[in-house]
Structure 1
Amino acid sequence: MLDIRWIRENPQALVEALVKRSWSPADAQSTVEDIIARDEARRAHLGRLQEAQERRNSASKEIGKALSMKDAELAEKLKAEVAEIKSFIQGGEAEERRLDEALEGALAVMPNVPLEDVPVGKDEHDNVEVHKIGKIATRPNWVKEHFEIGEALGLMDFERAAKLSGSRFTILQGQLARLERALGQFMLDLHTTEHGYMEVQPPLLVRDEVLYGTGQLPKFEEDLFFTPHGESRLGLIPTAEVSLTNLVREEIVGHDKLPLRLTALTPCFRSEAGSAGRDTRGMLRQHQFYKVELVSITDQENSLAEHERMTQCAEEVLKRLELPFRTVALCTGDMGFGARKTYDIEVWLPGQNAYREISSCSVCGDFQARRMNARYKDREGRGNLFVHTLNGSGVAVGRALIAVIENYQNEDGSVTIPEALKPYMGGLERIESK
């Protein structure tokens, strides 16, 4: 959530930021004007309430003086005034809550402001490549996509999965199931033993206020799955970012505890609303998938350096697996709702003859912290500041499985096991059809 004081002082800067995010100038201008009008109405009402409270206090003192002077008529007149003010204050407090909710509702759907060095553009075609790692081999004519390989091995079953759950689900069996498990374990071991992240096993079902804290609600409700829980509901996490980041909600963290670096391997659940017709074959876009998530909680001075570090940690996974990839800086129009800057890591898939996203690493500044009321003590221990939050995939396990299958496929349909995964596969050299 954006700071209303910053908006109040920099309305044109917010308009320009929204235009960079592909809003029309007219919509950006009217939206900012609406927020400022809501803020002014709230502040004016608070001013009237404060004046009324001050007058009630002074009138109450005047009643005492009038009684001491035995001026019953004045005392009764003042009592009537106090009663009228009290009624106004009671109604005014309800109006204050309404104005607070109206302003917060408008702020809740406002995206974050991009950093100055984020490339300006409309969509993925305007993203800027940072670097490429790994050599792309000449594509032989026998190369297949992952689902063709998996089905031919008899270890990837979409038809039975559809009978169980519908579209966008997959059943993995045998050595492919083990390979997916090996990938997740390998990533966790790398991030915890070499990159300094602490492993967490968080809840997969969370409350609405937790989803609000990281920005999934209210704007992206249709992308989520919910289950009834008593008189309310719980949401299935679309990413472990939700649970991990909210570990500091409504807390004040000591400066000496920062940065907090957290990682988790969890199932993730997404309705994929609006993705009809996209990646309908295979495992690229699923309702349920595994992902290793990286989350950092930092102070304000170090969040940008932490962003670079987190991206390098995610890249190291692909380097160890010897998978070709490239890293791109997302443009303003392609960047996520809560991000100030994002790097996407795209792995090479020879079956598609294309790079596809496998990790997205974002720095959010204090945007999520304001929604969670998550703060830290400054270095002197006197004041409290909002933490800065970062999140990234380290990496998407299902997409890593796809990348291994396609990059390590052989002409006979078998799949060679990458060196980094052999210890997790019991020394198995390749997966072959039974």
Structure 2
Amino acid sequence: MSHSDAILDRLMSLHPKVIDLSLDRMHRILAALDHPERRIPPVIHIAGTNGKGSTQAMIRAGLEASGARVHAYTSPHLARFHERIRLAGELISEADLAAALEECEAANEGKPITFFEITTAAAFLAFSRLAADYTLLEVGLGGRLDATNVIDQPALTVITPVSIDHTQYLGETLALIAAEKAGIIKPRIPCIVGPQQDEALRVIEARASGLTAPLSIYGQHWMVAPDRDGIVYQDDHGLWDLPMPNLIGPHQIQNAGTALAALRHLGASHGQASAAVTRAEWPARMQRLTRGPLVEAAGPQAELWLDGGHNPAGGEALAATLKTLPPRPTRLVCGMLNTKDVAGYLRALAPHAEGLTAIDIPGEPNTLPAATTAGIAASVGLPADSAPDAETAIRRIADQEPRARILICGSLYLAGRILRSNG
């Protein structure tokens, strides 16, 4: 176990609840640290239900193409915690992470604070100590009371598509969830708004109007659409003809549009726009696995894919992506958390797969039991069985159908375990 892992384990025990949305504990620890959040490079703050990470990755690729130094904060991590904090483009070093965590642990003095709050404070501390041009800050959950929402004057806020997820924390309706996401909008600070359902957009517009924050809204102020073998982005400043995003799936065109609208606001060139869509890297978003023990288990003729989407909108995005791929018998290997709308997620995928093998998410206390996942899959019309682990599931599928397209899906936590175990 690394030094930072040992500290992270200790920090897990400081608050009984994993999630407890409030800004009081953040304000307390940031004051004890002498307000590092006020000394970080200009912030682009990103909220939304789906597409936050991909959109952030594209904004970063566009900014870095001009030579800008960009800090970035994202969650959850897939293989190791260091992925959450990028300092001027590079993952935080073990030494810098351990130092920031220890300083936050000391400043907190054992008081109650959630794991996400204290690690967010550590990110601010690290960001405040290294010069950069921008800080990309991804909201953890919601927006209004999220630990990242302590930045009074960001350079720009961004809201990606809002849909139903995390209802136990954010409310049961789209309007309530949108109100939480819109909590990152700040007085007179411009906000880029990705594609939204009308109910969510009305809430975002009302919040912005009350704060006189100018909005740049998909479908009103900017457009993005597939065009021949690329995409076209258009706004009041003109038109960009660009290559197809290297992140796979029709929903990535919308994410690209949101990123391009943000970059346009920041004065980006056509070259930066092109880099945004062609150079972004974001693992476990329809990622093709090409080597490692799981690829060997699948055999030479099969395809192995990984996707971390986990709510009904994620299922729909994945289904739309599968529709665009060359036809192949498709089998899902699926593990999900017990907090998710499993039927809603799988219903969208059922018409695009021949069957599903359910697994538990290894090492995850909130995993849905594989047998339960299989039962829900069967109820939405997906023939299903279960297996003790991903490798067994993959071997079994490949034995029956050597040319299968095998898609491991259902959870970012599962995706992280898969990336770790596959090396």
Under TM normalisation by the shorter chain, which class is it? under 0.3
Per chain length, whose mean CA-contact separation is higher, i.e. which structure has more relative contact order (CA < 8 Å, sep 6+)? 1
**Greater CA radius of gyration, 1 or 2?**
1
TM-score with structure 2 setting the length? 0.21
TM-score with structure 1 setting the length? 0.21
